């Protein structure tokens, strides 16, 4: 049986990795993910987890060790943030191209400079085009559950892709929350042992990572793209199975009071809990406001978002990173192009919020809704705006 605990979310993430019974952990410290690898090192040291704990000399080697270990047939875990991710990103492209089911937690943090250890989504955006599946957690329970789900998806032979489970640094990683930790047996029932499709084995030699000449490179990339697109049905199926095993239901996009909403706030991560309170406050004033949260960021949940947004007149997309293209933030850019493809023309305004750990409050969300309605009424050209800037 599972147990209910009050636990720091990072510690719970490490406990989940132990329940998953990973074989190899590659570890390199960076705030705010450090508690995860620290706790894993303890779990290995005290015998709770039988894994090789590889305390590497850099994140570049962390991901390289993961690639080697996964290619050799081991269930593999690592965890990082921001600058650490930037150092490993070269190998992250390779991990997904080689179709290795590595799972990583990214405790999201702002990118330097100026150096900031606090939360935003710049690192998640850096991971956006690497071909990894990415999920985004709202709370500690989701971190645990998405981790268990991640291995089930990654190792499915119809998928074989690496997965990042994103969680907001500090805001989520360092809070103590009530969490239901399943038992090892329950996890095992849901998550069969890793059976690699191919592995490095002298008894059956294979060549992995050869040169891709122009005659085959495009085909290799097309195959990878299709694998990522096709993963969505397995991701959803694995969530449905998850509900059967653990009683908690997950879907690619989570909605709150969206059915009749005229204005929809669209965002990712733990600020959804604050936004929900703002929605309640505005509903109490009679405003038809809803909230949509992207849980599955890669592959992008196009159908789910389209069906969520199709009746909204106004949408406020909240990005927690800049796109540096001069007209829109990264998530909003994807939302807009998707709406265009589906002939939907709501008024969309983009707020960039919470950069480098800046608080986003209930009042902020209320202001965003008020402002976006005013802009829509005046038919202002659509654009973006960084909120909470001290002038």
Confirm or reject binding of residue 43 to another protein (CB under 8 A). no
Please work out the total of residues on this chain that contact another protein, with binding judged by CB under 8 A: 44
Which one of the spans 91-99, 118-126, 248-256, 265-273 is the region binding another protein (CB under 8 A)?
91-99
Q: Which of 24, 161, 264, 292 binds another protein (CB under 8 A)?
A: 24
User: What's the token pair of residue 298?
Assistant: 């890669």
What distance, in Å, lies between the first and last C-alpha atoms of the chain? 54
Q: Where does this chain touch another protein (CB under 8 A) — which range of 198-206, 222-230, 321-329, 357-365?
A: 198-206
Q: Which residues, numbered 48-87, are part of the site for another protein (CB under 8 A)?
A: 50-52, 54-58, 60-61, 64-74, 76
Burial environment of residue 10 by CB neighbours within 10 A (0 to 12, 13 to 18, 19 or more): buried
Smallest gap, in angstroms, from Cβ of residue 232 to another protein?
A: 27
Minimal distance, residue 214 CB to another protein, in Å:
11
- Complete edge-to-edge strand list for the sheet that includes strand 384-386: 253-256, 289-294, 263-267, 314-319, 347-352, 384-386
Cβ 28 to another protein, closest distance in Å?
10
Q: Smallest gap, in angstroms, from Cβ of residue 47 to another protein?
A: 12
Min. distance of Cβ 23 from another protein in angstroms?
Answer: 5
Structure tokens at 391: 């002038």
Are the C-beta atoms of 316 and 265 separated by less than 8 Å? yes
Question: Which residue's CB is nearer to another protein, number 66 or number 124?
Answer: 66
Residues of this chain, 199-218, that bind another protein according to CB under 8 A: 200-202, 204-213, 216
Residue 267, strand partner residues = 293
The rounded distance, in Å, linking the Cα atoms of 167 and 272 is 12
From 2, 38, 41, 94, residue interacting with another protein (rule: CB under 8 A): 94
CB 365 within 8 A of CB 265: yes
Q: List all residues 6 or more positions away from 82 whose beta carbon is below 8 Å from its beta carbon.
A: 30, 108, 109, 110, 111, 112, 122, 123
Structure tokens at 240: 């449905």
Nearer to another protein, 202 or 326 (CB): 202
Binding site for another protein (CB under 8 A): 23-24, 26, 50-52, 54-58, 60-61, 64-74, 76, 90-91, 94, 98, 193, 200-202, 204-213, 216
């Amino acid at each position: 049986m599972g147990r209910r605990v009050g636990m720091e979310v990072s510690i719970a993430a490490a406990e989940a990795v132990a329940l998953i019974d990973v074989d190899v952990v590659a570890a390199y410290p960076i705030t705010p993910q450090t508690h995860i690898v620290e706790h894993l090192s303890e779990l290995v040291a005290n015998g709770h987890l039988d894994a090789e704990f590889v305390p590497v000399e850099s994140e570049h080697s962390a991901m390289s060790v993961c690639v080697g270990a996964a290619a050799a047939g081991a269930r593999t875990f690592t965890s990082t943030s921001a600058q650490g991710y930037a150092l490993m990103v070269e190998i992250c492209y390779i991990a997904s191209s080689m179709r290795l089911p590595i799972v990583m937690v990214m405790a999201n943090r702002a990118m330097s400079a100026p150096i900031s250890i606090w939360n935003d989504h710049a690192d998640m955006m850096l991971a956006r085009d690497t071909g990894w599946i990415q999920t985004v957690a709202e709370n500690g329970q989701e971190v645990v559950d998405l981790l268990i789900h991640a291995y089930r998806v990654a190792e499915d032979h119809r998928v074989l892709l690496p997965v990042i489970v994103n969680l907001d640094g500090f805001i989520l990683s360092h809070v103590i929350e009530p969490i239901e930790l399943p038992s090892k047996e329950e996890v095992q029932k849901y998550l069969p042992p890793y059976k690699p499709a191919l592995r490095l084995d002298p008894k059956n030699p294979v060549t992995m990572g050869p040169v891709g000449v122009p005659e085959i490179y495009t085909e290799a990339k097309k195959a990878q793209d299709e694998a990522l697109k096709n993963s969505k049905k397995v991701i959803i199926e694995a969530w449905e199975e998850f509900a059967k095993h653990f009683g908690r239901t997950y879907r690619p996009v989570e909605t709150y009071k969206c059915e009749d909403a005229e204005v929809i706030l669209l965002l990712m991560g733990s600020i959804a809990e604050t936004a929900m309170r703002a929605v309640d406050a505005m509903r109490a004033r009679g405003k038809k406001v809803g909230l949509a949260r992207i849980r599955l960021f890669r592959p992008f949940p196009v159908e789910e978002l389209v069906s969520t947004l199709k009746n909204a007149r106004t949408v406020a997309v909240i990005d927690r990173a800049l796109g540096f293209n001069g007209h829109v933030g990264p998530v909003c850019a994807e939302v807009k192009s998707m709406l265009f493809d589906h002939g939907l023309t709501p008024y969309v305004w983009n707020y960039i919020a919470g950069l480098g750990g800046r608080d986003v409050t209930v009042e902020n969300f209320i202001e965003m809704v008020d402002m976006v309605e005013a802009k829509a009424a005046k038919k202002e050209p659509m654009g973006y705006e960084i909120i909470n800037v001290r002038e």
